[in-house]
Structure 1
């Protein structure tokens, strides 16, 4: 399955225009530092409590991990990898997309999910939290599957799964959604930190 995602990544073009004039301060807040022209990595998570889920019966997502990256270079290229867990399923599912800085002021990054899988956006809540907005459902994949197939019935976003607040955490918490083996090894060894 990861090969299929990698194949889609090769075909990706940034779906939302970036701008050198866009406000950099929110990007700095996402990464906790000014990434300049270098690489940057950030990890955010949310584990919803039973009380929260009880008060939001139409929310199907129980946990979410978001790994946001910026590739080195003068032209900023951003990406997001998400992992979500749903109420009735033990297995997590993943989402991968490429992003660019938004020029509308409503969001920090606009992201397109590979292979026409929908879109999502990221905006800064504060220095330690982001908001991930998924206005419509996006394509999920099963990272443990050897080939593409239909997802189980419960692997879907509910009507109350539109906006998620995620909090900054250690990069090691994002290991399940770091697909680059070299970066993963550097995160595990402590050579790359936020």
Structure 2
């Protein structure tokens, strides 16, 4: 019978005693004390090279639900058509971006794992109308890829007393690489777009 040396056995036993690592979303939110903020501002040179792109800036916040499961997502999209706000929920999936028949929702998403996100059409999340589904590739957490379908439910301002309206996204406005930024950049949006949990 072989006996493991303490140098090997102790770390192995500790690994077994610890809970399994949470999903990457939970890990990301834990590192950020319950939240993460991402942004992309497109400069004039980029927009000149992509004249059909209407989006000029994207700000995205992920905040942990109060029960510690999944996340509330808030997105501000600014561009030629004005500013729009998307609010919804996201959860980690080993096989993200699939419809009810296990077909990809968005072909550009490489996955297979990532966030499955769902836009809401009412401020309290009670509406049965779906606001649209979209995936996010968390990558390393320092930069993410956000994928939009051809339309999502969005509000024109922080005032969400009325139901969201669907905003269309052209083919040039559907994939965004966002970089992690200081949480303070998302704090106003987090306060003015409360969740429903």
Deviation at 1:149, TM superposition (A): 8.1
Q: Which has the higher contact order (CA 8 A, sep 6+)?
A: 1
Q: Pairwise mapping of residues 116-135 of structure 1 onto structure 2 (< 5 A)?
A: 116-135=130-149
Q: Confirm or deny: 8 A CA contact 2:74 2:86 kept in the other structure.
A: yes
Aligned to 1:109: 115
> Scaled by the length of structure 1, what TM-score is found?
0.66
Distance 1:110 1:42, change over 3 A: same
Q: Pairwise mapping of residues 24-173 of structure 1 onto structure 2 (< 5 A)?
A: 24-25=23-24, 27-28=26-27, 30-31=28-29, 33=31, 40-73=34-67, 76-89=69-82, 92-104=83-95, 105-115=111-121, 116-145=130-159, 148=162, 156-173=168-185
Q: Confirm or deny: 8 A CA contact 1:123 1:130 kept in the other structure.
A: yes
Aligned to 1:190: none
Q: Which has the larger radius of gyration?
A: 2
Q: Confirm or deny: 8 A CA contact 2:142 2:180 kept in the other structure.
A: yes
Q: Confirm or deny: 8 A CA contact 2:142 2:179 kept in the other structure.
A: yes
Take 2:119 and 2:157, find their aligned partners in 1: how far apart are those partners? 15
Deviation at 1:176, TM superposition (A): 3.3
Distance 1:133 1:60, change over 3 A: same
Deviation at 1:142, TM superposition (A): 1.9
Q: Confirm or deny: 8 A CA contact 2:150 2:168 kept in the other structure.
A: no
Runs of 4+ residues deviating >3 angstroms: 144-151, 179-183
Q: Confirm or deny: 8 A CA contact 1:62 1:86 kept in the other structure.
A: yes
| Deviation string, structure 1 residues 39-81 (Cα, Å, up to 9, x no partner) | 610000000011111111221111000000122546x221210
> Scaled by the length of structure 2, what TM-score is found?
0.65
Unaligned runs of 5+ in 2: 1-19, 96-110, 122-129
Unaligned runs of 5+ in 1: 1-20, 184-194
